[in-house]
Chains A and B, each alone.
Chain A
Amino acid sequence: MTTVTEKIAVEKKVLSENDRVAAGLRERLRKNGVYCINIISSPGAGKTSLLERTLARFRPEERVAVLTGDIATDNDARRMARFGFPVKQICTGGSCHVDAKMVERALDDWDLSTLDLLIIENVGNLVCPASYDLGEDEKVVVLSTTEGDDKPLKYPGTFFRATTLVINKIDLLPYVPFNIEAVRENARKINPNIEILELSCTTGEGLDTWCAWLEKGVLA
């Protein structure tokens, strides 16, 4: 018996199934007029604190909801639920990122027409979440001043795909060897169009600008 070896072109994205689900989500969000952001950072940069401070500023009638991803526990969802807005925990069960199917499942019993803004807090990780489209309008990367100022260069994939960089914990600048100018420069090397916001969840400095940035997205 002779064997024949045949080479066939596939030309498919590895994550094409995720991209397909994400495209469906994007369409659903668009139809319902929901502006969606996907927040990415390393663990401890302050994603949850930023969301707590943000939710605390919203009026009760604001149409906002949060999906928060973690490998385990629903601690973050409980932290945020006290502000009275719909919050759902996505437990990724060991996975280092949120994928589009997890978002689809989480949104299953939510009526999107009641929302203007959906915030997805990804798992703390600067590598993997960048590869998974969640149907969001924008990826926001949060970096804090207690991290290295070369992080944009170490994690180019995330900084390249993010439209906006939030530098958190600026109240600590006098105490840490963090060169904020170097961060701005490094981030713009990777992504010349990246928008940069600077704030402190502890003192509240910069939160007005952040909320105005969110509002601009919702109204767009």
Chain B
Amino acid sequence: MHEMSIVTSVLDTAHEEAAKHAGARVTKIGLRIGEWSGVDRESLQFCFDSMVASDPNPPVLEIQYLPRQNLCGRCGELFQVKDFDIACPGCGFSPTEPVSGNEMDIAYLELEE
């Protein structure tokens, strides 16, 4: 769906960053994608492959997928949210606060010089 425009943004950013390092070639792009980000990994990879198809040495896309994690404001437990249940598994307190799962970040690039 919107994965094509996401890949376009990713490649634009990668090229901008690479341009700061004269003569460097991007070999890997590291993304961080959260479970609730609305991004489909397979579709993202498919769009990425299509966009770099004309590149004889295309960069590799590495996706770190982050599950939804919440933090309990009462007992401090950090836990993975399963079946959308945000009650703390430690002490039962609810609602707990989301700390990860919405990410759609470019974490790093690998450049070859």
By a beta-carbon cutoff of 8 Å, the part of chain A in contact with chain B is 3-18, 95-97, 99, 125, 127-128, 130-132, 153, 155-158, 160, 186, 189-190, 192-193
Residue of A nearest to B103 (CB): A13
Q: How far is the CA of A130 from the CA of B39 in the complex (A)?
A: 11
Report whether A10 and B2 are in contact in the complex, using a CB–CB cutoff of 8 Å: no
Residue of A nearest to B18 (CB): A8
Per DSSP, chain A at the interface is mixed
Q: Is the interface of B mostly helix, strand, loop or mixed?
A: mixed
* Interfacial residues of chain B within 1-35, with CB under 8 A of chain A in the complex: 1-2, 5-6, 9-10, 12-13, 17, 21, 24, 27, 31
- Interchain Cβ contacts under 8 Å between A and B, 6 examples: A7-B109, A8-B110, A13-B106, A156-B36, A160-B102, A192-B95
Q: Is the CB of A192 within 8 A of B86?
A: yes
Q: How many residues of B contact A (CB 8 A)?
A: 34
Please name all residues of chain A whose beta carbon is closer than 8 Å to the beta carbon of B106 when the two chains form the complex: 10-14
How many contacts A-B (CB < 8 Å)? 99
* Smallest CB separation, A185 vs chain B (Å): 10
Contact B112 A12 (CB under 8 A): no
**B108 in contact (CB, < 8 A):** yes
Shortest beta-carbon distance from B96 to chain A in Å: 9
Tell me how far the C-beta of B93 lies from the nearest C-beta in chain A, rounded to whole angstroms: 12
Known A-B contacts A5-B112, A13-B105, A14-B31; A190 and B84 likewise in contact (beta carbons under 8 Å): yes
A220 to chain B, nearest CB (A): 23
On whether the beta carbons of B1 and A14 are closer than 8 Å, the reply is no
Q: Which of B6, B24, B94, B112 is A14 in contact with, Cβ under 8 Å?
A: B6
The answer on a CB contact under 8 Å between A10 and B107 is yes
**CB-defined contacts of A12 to chain B, threshold 8 Å:** 13, 105-106
Q: Is the CB of B13 within 8 A of A131?
A: no
* CB <8 Å contact, A157 and B107: no
Q: Which B residue's beta carbon lies closest to that of A97? A: B2
Bound-state Cα–Cα, A79 to B57, Å: 51
- Cβ contact within 8 Å between B104 and A14: yes
In the complex, whether B111 has a CB less than 8 A from a CB of chain A is: yes
- Kindly state the separation between the CA atoms of A97 and B109 in the bound complex, as whole angstroms: 28
B38 at the interface (CB under 8 A from A): yes
CB B6 to nearest CB in A, in angstroms, measures 6
Name which residue of chain A comes closest to B2, CB basis.
Answer: A128
CA distance A3 to B25 in the complex (A): 10
